[in-house]
Homo-oligomer: A and B are copies of this chain.
Amino acid sequence: MTGSPAARNTLRILRFLAAQPDPVPAERIASSLGLPRASTYRLLSAMTAEGFVVHLEEDRVFGLGVGAFEAGTGYVRQAPLRRLAHGPMTRLVDRVEESAHLAVLHGRDVLYLIEERAPGRPSLVTDVGVRLPAHLTASGRAMLAALPRVQVRALFPDRDAFATHRGTGPATPAALRSLLAETRQRGYAVEDDEVTPGLASVAVPVLDHNRHPVASVAVTFAHESVLARRRAELSTEVAETAHDISRRLTGR
């Protein structure tokens, strides 16, 4: 028994709306989630009353309300990691003058919790709240390289587990294993063009008491403008920040 159907459907609606680029008609919600029309309207009415949904009557669509926003910021405020990491990330950006981000692993994806943009640098796809396939990003690779092999295998058991993105990145368990071995050997993870053409990243995992990767710190740059020596410097700065965050997390 996993609780009340109305509660579950309420949250399914909320999650569905959060995944849409724009507000949608009630009929779309009902058909997409397989809910009866009358129930859908009743749940939407409750959600509107509580401020989690708004009904844009002129357009006959429903969108997210400010209550959804505040639930999201409540999560962020409660996330100890974000609080601990914010200062070190800010200082990293000031030091290296490149944009940086903190990500966590969630299933086979990374989820970005912090983005610190450097002046004059472009906005990144890795904005707060964005999900990307872990195996295609430096952030994800850094964490996967620090995970036990059985856990990586459980996450990526076969070819079907590999989301593709313009044909880049590893596409089989063997290719991923090889890439993660190189990552461990090198001491930091790399990503060149795989997510955004022309951009590269270096990343280092943040480890907890048990040397388990709970996040990763990455810096992103235009890869033509960065020499190999500069790249090694960046990775050293990123590693220092990741270790600083680890120390804050584990109380030294």
Interface residues of A (CB under 8 A from B): 1-12, 14-15, 17-23, 42-50, 52, 63-78, 86-87, 90, 93-94, 106, 111, 116-120, 123, 128-130
8 A-B pairs closest in CB distance? A72-B72, A18-B74, A73-B129, A3-B46, A6-B6, A7-B46, A3-B45, A69-B75
**Which chain B positions have C-beta within 8 A of A65?**
75
Nearest CB of chain B from residue A53's CB, rounded to whole Å: 9
Known interface pairs A18-B70, A18-B74. Does A4 touch B129 (Cβ–Cβ under 8 Å)? no
With CB as the reference atom, state the residue of chain B lying closest to A65.
Answer: B75
User: A128 CA to B4 CA in the complex, in Å?
Assistant: 33
Q: How many copies does the complex hold?
A: 2
Nearest CB of chain B from residue A121's CB, rounded to whole Å: 10
Known interface pairs A74-B68, A78-B64, A118-B119. Does A49 touch B15 (Cβ–Cβ under 8 Å)? no
B70/A129 in contact, CB under 8 A: yes
With CB as the reference atom, state the residue of chain B lying closest to A129.
Answer: B73
- The contact sample of 24 A-B pairs, CB cut-off 8 A, is A3-B42, A3-B49, A4-B42, A4-B43, A4-B46, A7-B43, A7-B46, A10-B11, A12-B50, A14-B71, A15-B71, A17-B71, A18-B70, A22-B78, A64-B74, A64-B75, A69-B71, A69-B111, A72-B74, A73-B130, A74-B129, A77-B129, A90-B117, A118-B119
**Partner among B14, B21, B70 whose Cβ is within 8 Å of the Cβ of A77:** B21
A71/B73 in contact, CB under 8 A: no
Known interface pairs A75-B68, A75-B72, A76-B129. Does A3 touch B43 (Cβ–Cβ under 8 Å)? yes
Known interface pairs A3-B49, A7-B7, A129-B76. Does A68 touch B69 (Cβ–Cβ under 8 Å)? no
